[in-house]
Amino acid sequence: MDSISNMIIIMKNAQLAGLETATVPYSKLKDAIGTCLKKEGYISEVAKKVKKGHPVLEIRLIYTDKKPRITEVERISKQSRRVYFKMKDIHTIRNGSGLLVLSTPKGILSGKEARKEQVGGEALFKIW
């Protein structure tokens, strides 16, 4: 099972259900993705907690005018097919209203940050 797909789908479904938080199993990669989404304003807080003896990542969601901030997600790289973008191939998502998340040599970055740092990498997912 793809843990990144699982994480973004849990966040999307929690937003559409009107929940305040979403909880996913902890990993360093998911923590880095959560930090990137927090920096870009898609979620308000990411915290590592322990529930029933297992580490989990608790994600606090954002709503603007009672509308969910995350309405749709699309996984780009999958376990069966990896997709890599060069720096010049990174473009805006949904005319700037979306976000592309990449795994780069400099860590997990948004598309804007990757262009600023002039690095490419594996395209993980799009979110809007």
Is the per-residue pLDDT at 1 higher than 90?
no
**What's the pLDDT tens digit per position in 51-98?**
999 999 999 999 988 899 999 999 999 999 999 999 999 999 999 899
Three-state DSSP state, 47: strand
Q: Looking at the whole model, is its pTM more than 0.85?
A: yes
CATH entry, 3-127, from 1.10.10.10, 3.30.1490.10, 3.40.50.2300, 3.40.605.10: 3.30.1490.10
pLDDT bin (cut points 50, 70, 90) of residue 14 is very high
Q: What is 58-121 written as a DSSP string?
A: EEEE-EETTEES---EEE-S-SS---EE-GGG---SGGGTSEEEEEETTEEEEHHHHHHHT--E
Q: Cα(46)–Cα(69) distance, rounded to whole angstroms? A: 16
- Inter-residue contact 10 to 24 (CB < 8 Å): yes
pLDDT in tens, 71-83: 999 999 999 999 9
